[in-house]
Structures are given as structure tokens and as C-alpha cells.
Structure 1
Amino acid sequence: MSQRRHHTQAVAAAKAGISERSARRIDKNPQLPSQKKRERHWRTRPDPLEPIWPRVEELLKIPGILSVTIFETLQDEFGEAAVPDGVRRTLERRIARWRALNGGEKEIFFPQHHEIGRQGLLDFTVADDLHVTIAGQRFDHRLFHFRLASSGWEDSAVVLGGESFTALSEHLQDALWKLGGAPAELRSDSLSAAYKNLDADAQRDFTRNYEALCRHYGMTPTRNNKGVAHENGSIEAPNGHLKRRLDQALRRRGSRDFASIEDYRRFIDQELAKQNRRRARLVDDERRVLKTLPPKRTTDFTLVSADVTRNSTISVDRITYSVPSRLIGYRLHAHLYDDRVEFFLGPDQVMTADRVRVKHAERGHNIDFRHFIGNLKRKPQALRYLVYRNALFPTHAYTRAWQALDAALDARQACRDMVALLDIAAKGNCVDALALRIEAALDRGKLPNVAKLKSEFLPTVRSRVEVTIPPPDFAGYNHLLANAQVL
């Protein structure tokens, strides 16, 4: 166009490198060809959705219905000839456009500003997809997760059972005391899983205990609306981040197997400590405005009282625990923690046992054979039809030993030999070592040799040698004094 101002049309066209014909067209209308395209208001082919679109609009009134559901419904009603698979994408685009132009309001996510020290959040998350094993055994578990909304400081703990007030109270208090303060507000979801198997009275107790826990630390409890997880987004999304970090750490470690639960807990603590160190400056700023902790913790267990039966057992939360026979007839107070049960006689702790969990309405056992071995030695025949006989055996090797002895020997001798094996394990404190010897014998097709095992693990104590020490002869001292030379 600049050449045309100073030259003829032919010269300007030559300088611009175009034909004179193109130059004449540009002189008449300087618009580009793409700008001259006329808008089309007619179809070039029939609309395949026109006959069925009224039905589509009816289906769109159903809340939450998906495009694929509408497509399948149309095929069911009109047949695949009228609604072939090839129109599915056309239908989905048409529905998306209709919803943009005529659909209802969508939910808006409002970003929130988190004031330092104001809010802490807690949640439980299932961690089975980490595929952790303990001593080679699959370990299904949950993680309790606590996090400060502002600085991002977080703590996590292994939960062996489900969501419960005991687990919440114990691990929340652990987190607060690690942090060194408490936020003004404690945010949680509706805790529906914790209420799931509770009756009305137990649900009221849970709510009352939770409110008392928050009151003890000066925190205001708040909850998001049930089923609206994004309202708790400051902990829901970090749940996924936490499990991804642990998964990556397990990959770096090269193994997902741990010798014990304590080793796994230490692993989690180490990973979270590294993450919290990266936020040290923000955490320090938030710690300055946190509420001061009370002088001591509040209750972080569930209290159950029960009598010890004449069977030397006590029933707590549908689980039968064995106790030393000296406690028969006494009433014990059981403190139920997430992973253990502590038994008290008055103010004195008399025993601790691993907490056993069973499915709802089932019953279980936690039997320590050491509590019964003294009585079984006097009454070995009681073993044969003992109700919790299988739970009595400390490992599978002892179960195999009983099965082999019971099959090969008469009832009386089988019971005597089995009790003798348990006695060796108890006195020698050698449950695992003895189990290896038992399995080795059984693998060879032989019965355990009780006498040989007893001599190996319980060596006979030699009789005491009597040593006679004569009284000192004082005459010898007088002789030394008489012949002593003065230096």
C-alpha cells in the first residue's frame, strides 16, 4: 500500500511482487480474503440430533446427569439406528454448549486467607495403597493427619483401628505437644466414619468428649458440611501430598517392609521432620501467636471397667484378654488406646496388652500362654478342649506342633508334651528360638523331642559346691608381729 501512494498501479504492483489483477482487487477493497467471508446461516447437511433434541432437553433437567448417560438413554429409547455411536461426540459438544448458555449456576470455590495461628485441621486418611508390610505381613492402616493452615506445619501418626475418639484424642494431643501450642480453631470434617458404628448414646458421648478436648486446649471446634470435602481443602489435598511423599520415600528406601510398627512410625516422623524444617521460618512466626498449652494432657483413652473371671480372663470391647491368675475376682479398669490396652487395679498398672480389633459384632482373643502355664502343668488335659486353645499358642509353629502331637500320640501324652513345650518357651523366654527348632523337626517329619529341647533351652543347674573356710589362726598374726622389724 505504501508503494501505491507514489507510483502507478502497475509500478506499485511490480514493486510489491503481485500481479496487476491483484493490485486492482486491493484498490477496490483492501480487506483480506478471510475478512470478506460471509457468515453462513444454513446447514450443509441434516442435523442428526434435531429429532431427538426435545428429549435431550428433558433429560438435562435431571440434576447431575452425565452426557454419556443421556446418550445411552437415547439409544435405548430411539434405537441405535436413530442414535448411532458416531453422534456421541456431537451430542456431548451440543450438551456442553447448552449447559454454558442455559444451565444453572455452578458452585463457586472461594479462596481463603489463613491468618497465622488461627486454624488447625485434622483428618484420617486410609494408607493401604502404600502397600507397607510389617515383618513380611500386609499392614492395612490409616494415618491421622494434623496440619496448621497458615504455615503448613504437620504431624501424622499410624492408626491401627478405625476413626475413633481414642485415636483422635491421643494423636491430636501428641501433635499439639510437639508443636508447642494450640491454634484458636480446630477444623475437622463431619467425622462420619467415627460415628458409623455407634449407637445414639455413644454418638452423644463422642460429641461431648470432642468438645471437652477442644475446650481443654482453648480451641473452637468447627466442621465442614457433610459430604463437601473441599470445604476442608487445607487438609484434604495435603492428605494426598503426604501419601505421595511417603510413597516416594519408600521407593528411595528400596523396601516397604519394616521390622516393627515402631520402625514404621519412626520412618514417618523422620519424613515429616524434614518437611517441617523447610517451613521453619513460617512455623516460628506461627508459634509466637499460638495458644499456650495447659499444664497437662487430658484423657486420651476410653475407660472400661470389668471383672476378672475365674478363667483368668477379662472381656473388654468384645475381646477376651488373659491376665495373671492372681487377679481372678478383682475388678480392673482398662484404658483403651488406639494400639494397646493398659489394665489398672486401683492406681496401680498391672498389665499392658496389644489391642485386638475385630469386625463389628464379632469377638476375638488376646491370650498370653504365660498366664496359664502354671495351671496347665497341673492339669494338662485341660488343653485339649480349651475354648481359646488356638489363641493360646504364641506362633504358628506351636499350632503345627499341637496338630502333629495330637495326630501321633494318645490324648494324654499329646497334652503333656504340648504343655511341656509351652513351659520351656515360658521359662527359657525363647518363644521364637524354640519355634525354629520345632519347625525344623516337623519339616523332617518328626515330632519335637521334648527332653532334648528342654536340655538345650533349660540347662540343668549344677548342684552347689560346699566350700568350708576354716576360722583364722590368730597365733600366726602374733608370730608376724613378734618378728617384725622396725623400718
Structure 2
Amino acid sequence: MPVRTSPKLGPWKPHIDAMLRQDLDAPRKQHQTATRIWNRLIDEHGADVSYAVVRDYVRRRRPEIETEAGKRTVAAFVPQQHAPGMEAEVDFGEVWVILAGVKTKCHLFVFRLSASGKAVHRVYPTQAQEAFLEGHIAAFETISGVPALQIKYDNLTPAVVRVIHGTRDRVENDRWVLFRSHYGFDAFYCEPGIDGAHEKGGVEGEVGRFRRTWLSPVPIVDSLDQLNTMIAEWDARDDARRITGRRSSVGEDFALEQPLLQPLPAERFDPGLVLHPRVDRSALITVRQAKYSVPARLIGRQVRVSLRASEVVVFDGRAQVARHPRVVERFGESIVLDHYLEVLQHKPGALPGSTALAAARTAGTFTAAHEAFWQESRKVNGDSRGTRELIDVLLLHRGMRVADVIAAIRAALTVGAVTADVVAVEARLHASGTVLGGSSSNRHPAQHDVDDGKRIVSLTQCRLTDPAAVIAGLPADARPLPSVAAYDELLRRRIKNTPPTTTGSDVVGPLEGNTA
């Protein structure tokens, strides 16, 4: 390829080189620009050259002069070979998700083994330390081991408190040091900024590859748990891919690398950040500017909270008393109706307009069956008592399966027995496999579908509706009508066999004088 020549610039090249060499000892902010060099050529030497020609020559020649003088090193990459089971790389990347109908910015945690290229991905609502630690734990448990030598990082805030410039030393977060000690690996921190990006180029490229492959278009999910379940399946499918320049797949290389990893410790590290908020008068605690409900009996007490990436777990002593999905938005709240049931037993009128009931309806835990039972119970028992019956039914959920209680509510509504006692009996029958409605389950299995005529009849329904209409749907009652004739016969015998007694002039009959 012919080299283009610049006849007009040729005589002035030595002058330009001399100006560039003057800059070798000058402060960087006072280096001569291409514009300044062009102006000097015109003013000092009367040169007849264009600015574009001078600019292009300066752009090419300045790095060469600085390299010759030892002021600049040649930018080059040295190929690396990673020993299996020894190293990994970690990084975060941004990702957008349609979460429960809302476009939400989330954070993609990526862990990549340097040798095989096996990667583990998880999406969290934050990239705080709890998400950072949870991502590591998920990765270690997925690959069933820990890199034996080191893991490479940027200078991430969850791990590094302060960067000591000019060295590789870092002031690390105390909890991060405890985590590394628990799993037994070292951390390697890359150079700050763009200069250190090449030191963990594998995971840098993996963030973009996974985002383009699996998270485009924007995923639409109801929860991050659902998304992470999908991501785990995508990670498994990625084992079949081949990295450019390799003959074997990622899964085949990982099968050789996995036995060389360090084993997992016997105990799992708790990644949650421990906090100790106090429960306010509304049975709420405040954690990171969001509110979470706890059982009302804890009002005024201090509780222990484990703040995790995707959830908040509340403890009273060693007993777990509440578990909520983590609220990301500021001043958001997560309220559970069950935490207020004891209070509502004494204040049933507070239930209809309560925030807890609205939250339960939105979450779907207060179902159409509950609504129907409440409406029918208030019609039969009145507002206060009917609401208390509903609360007693809601309390059954603490010790029984949701499906059993819902089935029992429907059975009770079918016969019009809108009381918590009937629901409790039917729920236990449903849980034990008994046919609802009073039929026993100890019959032969083949006879379970046979209608033996046994039905529950609600006396309440008979009172409130036409008895004839209710009884019309029942089998005929062939029993004789009750009679008291036998008792009348006993009465006549008693009068006949009892002698009369007298007191003065008064005569007392046998019935009036018998007080026994």
C-alpha cells in the first residue's frame, strides 16, 4: 500500500518534532496542542500548511516521541492461562425488568470461573452488601465449591472502604473480611477506573453477553424470585455453548474444573445485615426508609432484623416472627393482615377500612371465599359478631393449609353454616381426606361417590329462608311424629298410687304436696 506524502509539510516536520520534544519535560496541562503548533509554524517560520495536515501529524508523532523518550509504555495485552479451580471474577451490571407491571431498574450479579467460563447470574433490587454476599453464596452453592486461590473485583463499595492509591492495598469492610474468612478465598482488586477493566475482561464481557442473550427484550415477571428461577435455567442451558477459540463446551470444561474447587464450609453464612429497630404503635418497624408489619404483641419492643437482598426477616429473640419481600421504593410498606388479628378481635369495626385488609386483597391472600363468608356471616350474626367469626376463620390459617381452609369455607357456605367452628371441623376433615359435608372417609374407596343421603342441615338457614324450600331438597323423613302419650300414662299411674294427705282443713293433692 503506497504511503501518502505531504510535500508542503515535509520541510516543517523537524520543527514540529522539536516542539513535541519540548513537551517531554513540561507539565501535562501545558503541553502544546496541535492548534498551538500550527500557529507557531505560521508565526515563527511563515509556513504555508493547513491545520488538518499538522493535526494528523501531531496525533501520530506525539506517542512515538514519548515512547522513544521512555515517557509512555506500549499498550499491549499479554495472553493469560488460568489454572482450573483457582480463580474467578465478579461484577455487577444494570438491567431493566418489568416487575409486577412496573419498569424497574435492577442489578445483575455475575460470577464467572476464569478457567472454564462457567457463569452464575442473579438479579437483585440493589447492589448493596447483602446482595453482594447473597450472589456469592448462590454462586458457590451452584458450582458446589469455592475458587482455591482468588476472586477478582472492581473496587466495589460492599467490599472496599478505601482505595490506597499507588498500591494494590485496600481497606476492606469488616463484614466482607468475615465472609472471605468463612469461605476461605482471597480477593484481588483491579486498578481503579478504565485502566483496570482488562484485568477481569472475562466477566466484563459476560455481563453484556448474558444481558443481550437472555434479558432482551425486557423480561416481564411478577417477582424477582420468578426471574431468578428462569435465570438458573438459562445458566444450565449456557453450559452447552462454546467460547470462541475453544473446542469443548463450557459444561465439559466445568466438569473437569469442579473437582479442583475447595469444598463448601459446613455452615452457610448469613448474608443479612443485622439491625435492631423498635416496633411502633401501628405494629410497624422501619428498615431503610420502608415499613414492615410484625405481630401486634411486639408493640413497643425492640426486634432483630436480618436485612437481605430480596427479603426482610424479623426475629424476637431466636424465634422468627415475620418475613417480608424487601421493599425497594422509599417510604413503601409491606403489611400482613395476620399480624393484626388479635387486635381486630377486640376492635372488629376497624377491619373494613384497615390498610392490612387492603394489602391482603391486593396480594390475593384475602380471597373471594373469605369475602363471601364475611358477607354471609354479617347477614346472619350482625356486623360485630359476623366480623369476629371471620377473624376466627383467618386464625385457622396459622395451623392449617390454605387449601384446607378455603375448601372448608366453601363447604360451610354451601349449607349456610357461617361459623368458625363449622369451618374448623370441615378443614380438619378436608386435611384428613374426608369427604366434606359429613360423610365419613372410612367407607370403601369405591363408595365415596355414592350419595348415602347424609347432609348437613343449617338451622340458621331454615330460620332465615322458607323451611319448605330447604326441606324440599332433602330426602323424605319417614320417622313417626313424636308423642308424649307414654308419659301421660305414667302420670295417671302416679296419681292413682299416691295417698292424699291433710293439713288442718286443707287437702293437698298428690302433685301439689310432692316437692321431692
- For normalisation by structure 1, the TM-score amounts to 0.59
Contact 1:49–1:91 (CA under 8 A) maintained in structure 2: no
Match of 2:122? 157
Q: Secondary structure at the match of 2:260?
A: coil
CA distance, structure 2, for counterparts of residue 141 and residue 170 of structure 1 = 15
Q: Which ranges of structure 2 fall in alignment gaps of 5 or more residues?
A: 163-169, 241-248, 369-386, 388-408, 418-456, 463-476, 480-516
**Relative to structure 1, is the Cα distance of residues 417 and 233 closer, same or farther in structure 2, using a 3 angstrom cutoff?**
same
**AA paired with 1:332?**
V
CA distance, structure 1, for counterparts of residue 235 and residue 47 of structure 2 = 55
In the TM superposition, residue 205 of structure 1 has moved relative to its aligned partner by 10
| 165, 180, 193: which one aligns with 1:214 | 180
CA distance, structure 2, for counterparts of residue 289 and residue 79 of structure 1 = 68
CA distance, structure 2, for counterparts of residue 44 and residue 73 of structure 1 = 18
Residue correspondence of structure 1 range 144-293 to structure 2 within 5 A: 144-164=109-129, 166-194=130-158, 207-227=173-193, 230=196, 233-234=199-200, 236-251=201-216, 256-277=219-240, 278-293=249-264
CA distance, structure 1, for counterparts of residue 296 and residue 142 of structure 2 = 40
In the TM superposition, residue 303 of structure 1 has moved relative to its aligned partner by 0.9
**Relative to structure 1, is the Cα distance of residues 372 and 101 closer, same or farther in structure 2, using a 3 angstrom cutoff?**
same
Q: Does 1:114 align with 2:82?
A: yes
Q: Does 1:307 align with 2:278?
A: yes
| 45, 56, 75: which one aligns with 1:92 | 56
Match of 1:443? none
Contact 1:176–1:182 (CA under 8 A) maintained in structure 2: yes
**AA paired with 2:213?**
Q
Q: Secondary structure at the match of 2:303?
A: strand
In the TM superposition, residue 173 of structure 1 has moved relative to its aligned partner by 1.1
Contact 1:308–1:329 (CA under 8 A) maintained in structure 2: yes
In the TM superposition, residue 379 of structure 1 has moved relative to its aligned partner by 8.4
Q: Secondary structure at the match of 1:140?
A: strand
Match of 1:339? 310
**Relative to structure 1, is the Cα distance of residues 288 and 237 closer, same or farther in structure 2, using a 3 angstrom cutoff?**
closer
**AA paired with 1:247?**
R
CA distance, structure 2, for counterparts of residue 220 and residue 231 of structure 1 = 19
In the TM superposition, residue 332 of structure 1 has moved relative to its aligned partner by 1.4
In the TM superposition, residue 418 of structure 1 has moved relative to its aligned partner by 7.5
**Relative to structure 1, is the Cα distance of residues 188 and 303 closer, same or farther in structure 2, using a 3 angstrom cutoff?**
same
CA distance, structure 1, for counterparts of residue 158 and residue 132 of structure 2 = 10
Q: Which ranges of structure 1 fall in alignment gaps of 5 or more residues?
A: 1-39, 199-203, 382-415, 435-453, 471-487
Higher relative contact order (CA 8 A, sep 6+): 1
Q: Secondary structure at the match of 1:94?
A: helix
In the TM superposition, residue 380 of structure 1 has moved relative to its aligned partner by 11
Residue correspondence of structure 1 range 390-401 to structure 2 within 5 A: none
**Relative to structure 1, is the Cα distance of residues 315 and 427 closer, same or farther in structure 2, using a 3 angstrom cutoff?**
closer
| 338, 350, 353: which one aligns with 1:419 | 353
CA distance, structure 1, for counterparts of residue 152 and residue 238 of structure 2 = 22
In the TM superposition, residue 432 of structure 1 has moved relative to its aligned partner by 9.8
Match of 2:301? 330
Q: Does 1:465 align with 2:463?
A: no
CA distance, structure 2, for counterparts of residue 356 and residue 421 of structure 1 = 16
CA distance, structure 1, for counterparts of residue 182 and residue 214 of structure 2 = 36
CA distance, structure 1, for counterparts of residue 306 and residue 23 of structure 2 = 57
Residue correspondence of structure 1 range 382-461 to structure 2 within 5 A: 419=353, 423=357, 426=360, 430=364
CA distance, structure 1, for counterparts of residue 318 and residue 478 of structure 2 = 50
**AA paired with 2:184?**
G
Tell me how large the CA RMSD over aligned residues is: 4.8
CA distance, structure 1, for counterparts of residue 78 and residue 136 of structure 2 = 28
Contact 1:211–1:221 (CA under 8 A) maintained in structure 2: no
In the TM superposition, residue 150 of structure 1 has moved relative to its aligned partner by 0.8
**Relative to structure 1, is the Cα distance of residues 60 and 329 closer, same or farther in structure 2, using a 3 angstrom cutoff?**
same
In the TM superposition, residue 149 of structure 1 has moved relative to its aligned partner by 0.9
Q: Deviations over 1:37-82 (max 9, x none)?
A: xxx9x95578678887766655676788899x934666899999x9
Q: Does 1:70 align with 2:33?
A: yes
Q: Does 1:355 align with 2:326?
A: yes
**Relative to structure 1, is the Cα distance of residues 426 and 174 closer, same or farther in structure 2, using a 3 angstrom cutoff?**
closer
CA distance, structure 1, for counterparts of residue 30 and residue 152 of structure 2 = 31
**Relative to structure 1, is the Cα distance of residues 423 and 220 closer, same or farther in structure 2, using a 3 angstrom cutoff?**
closer
In the TM superposition, residue 336 of structure 1 has moved relative to its aligned partner by 0.6
**AA paired with 1:284?**
A
**AA paired with 2:458?**
V
**Relative to structure 1, is the Cα distance of residues 176 and 469 closer, same or farther in structure 2, using a 3 angstrom cutoff?**
farther
In the TM superposition, residue 85 of structure 1 has moved relative to its aligned partner by 11
CA distance, structure 2, for counterparts of residue 428 and residue 43 of structure 1 = 79
How many residue pairs match? The answer is: 359
| 320, 323, 335: which one aligns with 2:291 | 320
Contact 1:48–1:87 (CA under 8 A) maintained in structure 2: no
In the TM superposition, residue 240 of structure 1 has moved relative to its aligned partner by 3.1
**Relative to structure 1, is the Cα distance of residues 323 and 378 closer, same or farther in structure 2, using a 3 angstrom cutoff?**
same
Contact 1:377–1:419 (CA under 8 A) maintained in structure 2: no
Q: Deviations over 1:217-239 (max 9, x none)?
A: 221222223336546634x4433
**Relative to structure 1, is the Cα distance of residues 64 and 245 closer, same or farther in structure 2, using a 3 angstrom cutoff?**
farther
CA distance, structure 2, for counterparts of residue 341 and residue 367 of structure 1 = 10
Contact 2:90–2:152 (CA under 8 A) maintained in structure 1: yes
Between the aligned residues of both structures, percent identity stands at 20
